[in-house]
Homo-oligomer: A and B are copies of this chain.
């Protein structure tokens, strides 16, 4: 049997770090002995555990310890880690350390250097050629304040649960974020426009509650179609039954291409309302990305996926809150790029979409299984009401 001693620090019990670590050990067929444990006597106190892990082979032990470190376990006496040269540009040495998006330090020349940005599923490049390094990961831990909307473990509000109180709390959270100069991003799917919720998003933009908008070509085109023709896939929202064709959709693309861009269409007064118009008017950054399902696309769309990922990472770097609204593919891409401290709210009518989106930020996410139109309507109303009471806000 080969063994190694690891240490855990922080809110290791109620943030489920200790149970997860023990679970991993058992799942890998290894064994453990708890050498020491001190549990914080109040909920704000930190806890500590020292655990001796043993496995049958040295390789199994190494692999297990590597995994435990991703949960924040530290090896008591840091094992030597070797830096290796990359065989080629864009290629890693074959046994590279796979990163997490948790705060990460590399022990290098006796000091802990923070890896920036902490990014999931990558490797760490160190500038100078050195021989040893220990890697230390500090997982985000559950808030212990007891007043935080995002503090709950399984924070999905199901289809058959009430949403009004959560939406009200969320409005307060966004107000606080606003005052704290946090940047708010919206990731939006076409259903926002198609269900008639575009007007509510415009309201949030006008109230300065949106700093970035991430969407696909389709979202922008639906919005322009609605602004230019009053339809959505040819359907008139005032008489929802005039179902029809796809022509206006294509004419909308054509109109923007003729104008040169969305911004140009706003300037030329071709595009006079809608979400895109509001974004241009209120300096909201629009990040539009393309897929193989796109028609057109319109000029602003970044069609190359690699280029789009770079733009997205850059525009997400200073964001503190993200609303993921009826946009599964985009939401999963965005969620995988976030720092673990960013708070996310996911709204979708499909329960499995909500589950997949919130699991990226397990202690920082709220998911609501609901129709996006009433959600945005209620959120915009809450915020507008609150903003209209300047006296109240001073008192807060």
Contact = CB atoms under 8 A, between A and B. Distances in A.
Contacts of A244: 27, 67
18 contacts: A19-B19, A23-B153, A26-B144, A27-B152, A27-B243, A28-B242, A32-B42, A37-B39, A66-B247, A70-B245, A94-B255, A161-B194, A163-B373, A292-B305, A294-B309, A303-B307, A329-B329, A370-B371
A305 to B, nearest CB: 4
A284 interface: no
Interface of A: 13-14, 16, 18-19, 22-23, 25-29, 31-35, 37, 39-43, 49, 66-67, 70, 87-88, 90-92, 94, 96, 98, 121-123, 144, 146, 149, 151-153, 157, 159-166, 169, 189-191, 194-196, 232, 235, 237-247, 249-251, 254-255, 257-258, 289-295, 297, 303-309, 312, 326, 329-330, 332-333, 336, 349-352, 369-371, 373-374, 377
Contacts of A189: 160
Contacts of A291: 291, 305, 329, 333
Contacts of A369: 349
B41 A336 contact: no
Nearest to A251: B94
Contacts of A41: 33-35
A7 to B, nearest CB: 14
Contacts of A43: 22, 25-26, 31-32
Given A250-B98, A304-B303, A305-B292, A195 B18 contact: no
A171 to B, nearest CB: 14
B303 A290 contact: no
Copies in the complex: 4
A43 to B, nearest CB: 6
B351 A352 contact: yes
A168 to B, nearest CB: 9
Contact of A160 (B14, B194, B242): B194
Contacts of A309: 292, 294
Given A22-B14, A91-B257, A293-B336, A195 B163 contact: yes
Nearest 8 interchain pairs by C-beta = A374-B374, A160-B191, A290-B305, A165-B240, A162-B196, A292-B333, A303-B305, A98-B247
Nearest to A160: B191
Given A293-B329, A306-B290, A329-B293, A165 B371 contact: no
A232 B162 contact: yes
A201 B304 CA distance: 30
